[in-house]
Amino acid sequence: LTGPFHPQKLAIAALGNSGSTGADGIEGDIAYFPSFDALKAAPDAAVKGKIVFIDNQMKAAQDGSGYGYFGRGRFVGPNAAAKKGAIAIVIRSIGTDSHRNPHTGVTNFEAGVTPIPSGAISNPDADLLVRQWQHGKPLRLKLLLTPKTLGDQPSGNVIAEVPGSDPKASPVIIACHLDSWDLGTGAIDDAAGCGIITAAAKHIMAAGQPRRTIRILWAGAEEVGVFGGKAYFDAHGKERHAVAMESDFGADRVWRVDFKLPEGAAGLADRIAAALAPYGITRGKQPAGGGADVGALIESGVPTIDLQQDGTRYFDIHHTPDDTFDKVDPAQIRQNVVAWTVTIGLLANSADAELP
């Protein structure tokens, strides 16, 4: 912030697909909007030639609800600002912490829309900006963001299997994603998920051969567009799958199980819910939604189960420098492995009458 008050440096991170300010940076007046909806409703004249700031503060929730709503400021806010003539955009980080750590993440611009410099500032810095805005004086911001877009680069999926005893039975696929944002190490998002599903598969393998094959998918390039999940579907989407599941919400305990299974699988769902209950896991009432990397499979009709993790602190860490291995609680990640082992074990030994 360069004016009208004492200059103040802000902690900022560029968003994925952001445009660059150039080495000299840019400076402009701030156009303040309390939400993404307010930006959408604003006339172009209120935005043109200015640096947009979207101030929408996400609240912590056990189920992570709110990410989809507040995340719009990051997902499509820069595109909307660019179309209205903004020279840049800064958003309040899509996070629930009070640290001076900005939360990065991908944004997307429509074809034909020139990407503008797009960044996220930490929650304390957003609070500072809002306090200054409330004085009613025009605010100015000097912005320096120099990301580069290198175009598509090679990535890949890692696929492994625990072979089942019945080659005619459709496999159970369990997924996570390999990539992470550069600010942290990706321990929570999503190395923990890869560890959880792989450990569960190894426990089942050690206990004896399951009836169905268990297929483990470590998907690449999820953060920038779910490219690994889409590539898997392109290669295997026409094959039968018994069920598809994903672990991609950190490492804290599983607290609820949701189902989206065929009508003939009611008994299977009951057995899974009963087996999970001793571990403090309740049965949800809404249908399971699955995860991004198996999303195309689920949209094609493959059944799914969600082992819902406690997301109360997930968005304190998500896409920040704090995403490091010390944030993984050993007791909670062990409970995840138990829940996945129990669930996958029952699925992998289910009858054809219960799953496709």
Strand partners, 106: 16
pLDDT in tens, 235-253: 999 999 999 999 999 999 9
pLDDT at 216 over 90: yes
Q: What is the mean pLDDT of residues 303-328?
A: 98
Do 53 and 31 touch, CB atoms closer than 8 A? yes
Instruction: DSSP for 190-223, please give it.
Output: IIHHHHHHHHHHHHHHHH---SSPEEEEEESS-T
CB-based burial label for 80 (10 Å; 0-12, 13-18, 19+): buried
Percent residues over pLDDT 90 in the chain: 99
By the 10 Å C-beta count (0-12 exposed, 13-18 middle, 19+ buried), 114 is classed as exposed
Instruction: Taking residues 181-186, report their average pLDDT.
Output: 97
Residue type at position 230? K
Count H helices, E strands: the chain?
A: 11, 13
* pLDDT at position 92 over 90: yes
Tokens of 189: 């998002």
Cα dihedral 239→244→247→253 (10° resolution): -160
- pLDDT classification of 155: cutoffs 50, 70, 90: very high
Helix (H) or strand (E) holding 275: helix 266-276
**Per-residue model confidence as pLDDT tens digits over 22-45:** 999 999 999 999 999 999 999 999
Which residue bears the tokens 């009070």? 98
Residue among 294, 160, 266 nearest 214 (CA): 160
* Bond into 248 cis (ω within 30): no
- The span from the CA of 94 to the CA of 339, in Å, is 29
What the chain holds in terms of domains, given with CATH numbers, is: 12-143 (3.50.30.30), 158-348 (3.40.630.10)
180 CB contacts (<8 Å, ≥6 apart)?
Answer: 186, 189, 190, 191, 223, 323
Per-residue confidence (pLDDT) for residue 151, from 0 to 100: 87
What average pLDDT is seen over the chain? 98
231-251 residues labelled b (16+ CB within 10 A) or e (exposed)? bbbeebeeeebbbbbbbbbbb
Q: Is the pTM of this model over 0.75?
A: yes
What is the token pair recorded at 11? 């902690």
